[in-house]
Amino acid sequence: MILFVQPFGFGSAGGGARILRALLHDCPIPSTLVCTSPEPPRIVDPAREVHLPLRPHFGKIERTRLAALPVLVTPLFKQRFLRRFEQLCRARDARAVHAIPHCELDFHHAHQVAAKLGLPFYLQMHDDFAYSSRGYVTPKHAHAAMQLAWRNAEARFVICDQLGEEYCRRYGARDYIIVTDGLESVASAPPKRAPSELRIYFMGLFHLEYEENLRALCTALERVRSLRPSMRVSITLRCGTLRPEVARIAPDIIRVLPFGTEADVQRDLSRADLLYLPLPFGTHFEPLVRFSLSTKMVTYLGSGVPILYHGPQTSVAYELLTGHSAALPHPSLDVDSLAERLVRICDESGGATEIAGNALKLARSRFLLQDQRAKFWNAMTRAAVANTVATNSLPSVAHAR
């Protein structure tokens, strides 16, 4: 039994849950999913999922100006979490612990319990903890906890090579394995699009940091409509919700859809002419974008629909996509140049089709799900099997004292 510890539910809409679902589908070892979020998650598999909150949930306070108060009292519940997590490990006869850090020290506490029980500990990084933990953990404590976990983990999984290299520089040289979201299948060729339409599509969580990008895009599309009156333009955001003041930017262009299934997304993709991949601009966000490789990008690559990358040149996504000529990059918020780019896309579909073909090649070479699963489980099973063999003559962890 492997315990997977993370601050989100297995069925949540974020990229972390998406990667976990992909990797754990038909997993070869029994597993328990432990969500540490204070807010109860939507449980999709009651027999397999456990809600073990890092701290209590404080209701409406969590969404007000007083939201910092629950964060401040989190350390008061550390011992309770350690005790309950150890009890869970013993009750489930755990043979290994896997953790995905985000903003709190739940991964550190899981690491402590794993060390106490002599269990292999695995660390998986989807973003830079030094950035994501801001406002939750002091930089000093964040660094110490991550350094300990990074150095002592049985295996380390990172979302991109740039993040692995940075962690080796920052916390100590260690081997790491690049694992991210993957594709069950890849489109055979880019689809043909109608010359009279420009249907732009976005899927996934729409972070507040993307709003400035969307404002620029909407203004640019208004310019496109004035330059090409016969062109029908639209933006579909399958993101659940959008702040009303943002939706009002261009109500006749923007359509917001609720989060959907994989089948819903595939239908959306078949009706799209351009896939929108925004990342925030500005020096404040550089620590984020330097290592941000979103799961939506992987889905986009395998669709055959051209990608419009709208973000800074400092991001790992920009480096990957431009390095393979797999997207149409626009690393600026300048509306005039963005409008010109969109007009060229409308008028010269051949260039966009070639870019989409390059994206399909990249998807096949780097992002097939069978390859991601193989890398992940080859590393996980080695230590888990070794630990089982080493302890099969001893009393089970559930009864050890």
Highest mean pLDDT among 21-30, 185-194, 201-210: 201-210
Instruction: Look at residue 252 and tell me if it is in a domain.
Output: yes
- As a whole number, mean pLDDT of residues 226-249 equals 89
> What percent of the chain has a predicted confidence (pLDDT) above 70?
95
Task: Give the model's confidence band at 387: pLDDT under 50 very low, under 70 low, under 90 confident, else very high.
Answer: low
Instruction: Look at residue 32 and tell me if it is in a domain.
Output: yes
- 210 and 315 together in one domain: yes
pTM over 0.95: no
Instruction: Look at residue 400 and tell me if it is in a domain.
Output: no
- 280 and 340 together in one domain: yes
- 259 and 223 together in one domain: yes
- 236 and 362 together in one domain: yes
- 120 and 249 together in one domain: no
- 174 and 294 together in one domain: no
Evaluate if residue 400 carries a pLDDT over 50. no
- 219 and 160 together in one domain: no
- 376 and 353 together in one domain: no
Let me know: does 399 contact 87? Beta carbons within 8 Å. no
- 226 and 265 together in one domain: yes
- 237 and 129 together in one domain: no
- 297 and 377 together in one domain: no
The domain containing residue 331 runs over which residues?
A: 197-366
Predicted confidence at residue 277, as pLDDT, reads: 96
Instruction: Look at residue 164 and tell me if it is in a domain.
Output: yes
Evaluate if residue 250 carries a pLDDT over 50. yes
Instruction: Look at residue 191 and tell me if it is in a domain.
Output: no
How many domains in the chain? 2
| Residue 362 belongs to domain with CATH number | 3.40.50.2000
- 103 and 237 together in one domain: no
Instruction: Look at residue 286 and tell me if it is in a domain.
Output: yes
Identify the burial level of 219 via C-beta atoms within 10 angstroms of its C-beta, where 0-12 means exposed, 13-18 middle and 19 or more buried. middle
Range from 138-142, 205-209, 305-309 carrying the lowest mean pLDDT: 205-209
Instruction: Look at residue 72 and tell me if it is in a domain.
Output: yes
Predicted confidence at residue 272, as pLDDT, reads: 93
- As a whole number, mean pLDDT of residues 262-283 equals 92
